[in-house]
Structure 1
Amino acid sequence: MQGRSSTDLPRQPGQAVVEIPLTLIPEIATCSHRDLYLTDRGTAVIRGSKVTDSEALAAIRLPADEDVVELAQNVLPTLEALTDAR
């Protein structure tokens, strides 16, 4: 998941925290997980494993103030169900 780098959640080595607008993934508003925090700004703060693969990051063309985190599918079960339905 790509989003603006955030310091709203503590992180461990190898983790990153990003903030994304809920308009990008509105289904996230119904999820509950220790690595997910909904703000009063209409955004979600998500903590996950920081993506460091240079090829993947080059393909994304990441802005300087953004980061990418990888999440296990079970972190967001609502999104997992949507993916399975396709």
Structure 2
Amino acid sequence: MKEGIHPKNYRPVVFQDLSNGDKFIVRSCIVTSETIKMEDGHEYPLSKVEITNASHPFFTGQQMLLDTAGRVERFNKRFGKMGKKS
């Protein structure tokens, strides 16, 4: 790495997903006042986040697409011909 271009406080930080409680350690320079002791016996700065890839419906496969009142069909009926090549 080039010298002098990276922040000085780049260190391991624990990010905790508040929706499911998952914790993971990532190197970051985020400023936080909370700390947490992990299973490895070390104490790390803690950053709490609302949602991560472990709990987001898109990444977990729980996302559902809802077609309310035939909106997709109505859209395709109005604009479906524009994208087709003859």
**TM-score in terms of structure 2 length:** 0.26
Of Structure 1 and Structure 2, the greater strand share is in 1
Higher relative contact order at CA 8 Å, sep ≥6: structure 1 or structure 2? 1
Select the structure of larger CA radius of gyration. 2
